Structure 1
Amino acid sequence: MALRGSGMPAQYSWSTKRNYKSGYVWHDLALKDIIHPSEGGAEYVLKGSELVEGSCSG
């Protein structure tokens, strides 16, 4: 939670970059998911996508 900032978790949809086969994929995170460092255990790669109230897809 500390990596996502205070007061920010509920305003964004969070993803973390993970190794997969010979490349990377973005893995969506739930609010209480543990965030693991990227390769080598030294770097965290997070992406926050702002949630817009009242928006809908489709």
Structure 2
Amino acid sequence: MPAIGWVFIILALALIVGSLLILRDSAHSMKISDEKMKKIQARKAEIEAEESAEDREW
């Protein structure tokens, strides 16, 4: 394989690894407000109640 092929492969791998590292570092920086968290938990409880009611019907 010509040298330019190896350069492209190394560049592609570096971009992939760099993107994954940036994604990992920024994963915990997104904070959810207390109000949104309460809405999420309420909706989750509602869905679980609906699913358990459907399970009891079977």
- TM-score, scaled to structure 2: 0.19
Between structures 1 and 2, the one with greater helix share: 2
Larger Rg: 2
Structure with higher strand content: 1
Higher RCO by CA contacts (8 Å cutoff, separation 6 or greater): 1
